[in-house]
């Protein structure tokens, strides 16, 4: 998993509350267990139109607009990521290129899945998020700088907003570790325990 420190990038505004995981990545794309290739289906129902049996870009959807090309920061409304626990949702966001989602609140399971996949979720007060939506609308190609070590969002006008962060989640993101990788860092201690356990309770290992 790619470590996260600072991201400075274009912001794409998704002005919808309660965006659920089925909207992020619809159920018909959940057959894969690969983390790659889902970005093209991100926000599928909003991003594409069906006309004459052909799929085409919806010009009204934010990700299809030139001002937000290459966006790596998604600005959203409250309760982003609600719905099912599918890990495909952060897979799709990451595969598209998003490293940061800013919103007033996130669904808990979705939030944990994002940490496991290297996506930083930034919780800011609703009035600050509202202000950012206005800034993005008024300034095509609007950029933000998100600094995880400092836990701070910096605007183009040099306003700064601190955001809260769980210490364990911060450690994982800074070092590019998911739960499995974090456990494997203790591989030596785990093997030493197994040796001691085999010596103290050999009857548990007779069938090996």
User: Per-residue pLDDT tens for 132-147?
Assistant: 999 999 998 999 999 9
Contact yes or no for 66/3 (Cβ under 8 A): no
The yes-or-no verdict on residue 182 having pLDDT over 60 is yes
Q: How many other CB atoms sit within 10 Å of the CB of residue 45?
A: 12
Predicted TM-score of the model (pTM): 0.87
* Range(s) of the chain covered by CATH 3.20.19.10: 6-177
The yes-or-no verdict on residue 183 having pLDDT over 80 is no
Q: Which residue has the tokens 């599928």?
A: 44
The rounded distance, in Å, linking the Cα atoms of 39 and 145 is: 23
The mean per-residue pLDDT over the stretch 169-189 comes to 81
> Domain 6-177: which topology?
Aconitase; domain 4 (3.20.19)
Helix 108-116, helix 167-175: angle, nearest 10: 30
From the list 139, 134, 171, 166, the residue with the least C-alpha distance to 67 is: 139
**How confident is the prediction for the chain on average, in pLDDT?**
92
pLDDT tens digits along 165-175: 999 999 999 99
pLDDT tens digits along 41-71: 999 999 999 887 788 999 999 999 999 999 9
**Backbone φ and ψ of 23, nearest 5°:** -75, -35
**Backbone φ and ψ of 8, nearest 5°:** -120, 120
pLDDT tens digits along 93-145: 999 999 999 999 999 999 999 999 999 999 999 999 999 999 999 998 999 99
Q: Which residue has the tokens 């300034």?
A: 139
Q: How many other CB atoms sit within 10 Å of the CB of residue 27?
A: 11
Residue 205: DSSP 8-state: G
User: What are residue 7's DSSP bridge partners?
Assistant: 146
């Amino acid at each position: 998993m790619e470590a996260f420190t600072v991201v400075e990038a274009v912001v794409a505004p998704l002005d919808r509350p309660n965006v659920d995981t089925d909207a992020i990545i619809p159920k018909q794309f959940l057959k894969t267990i690969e983390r790659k290739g889902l970005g093209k289906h991100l926000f599928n129902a909003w991003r594409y139109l069906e006309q004459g049996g052909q799929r085409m870009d919806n010009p009204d959807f934010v990700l299809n607009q030139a001002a937000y090309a290459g966006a790596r920061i998604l600005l959203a409304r409250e309760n982003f990521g609600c719905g099912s626990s599918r890990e495909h949702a952060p897979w799709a966001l990451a595969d598209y290129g998003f490293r940061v989602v800013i919103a007033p609140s996130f669904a808990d399971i979705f939030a944990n899945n994002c940490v496991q996949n290297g996506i930083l979720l930034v919780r800011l007060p609703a009035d600050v998020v509202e202000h950012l939506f206005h800034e993005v609308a008024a300034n095509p190609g609007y950029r933000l700088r998100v600094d995880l070590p400092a836990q701070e969002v910096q605007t183009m006008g040099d306003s700064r907003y601190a955001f809260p962060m769980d210490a364990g989640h911060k450690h994982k993101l800074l070092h590019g570790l998911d739960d499995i990788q974090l456990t494997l860092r203790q591989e030596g201690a785990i093997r030493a325990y197994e040796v001691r356990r085999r010596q103290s309770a050999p009857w548990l290992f007779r069938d090996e």
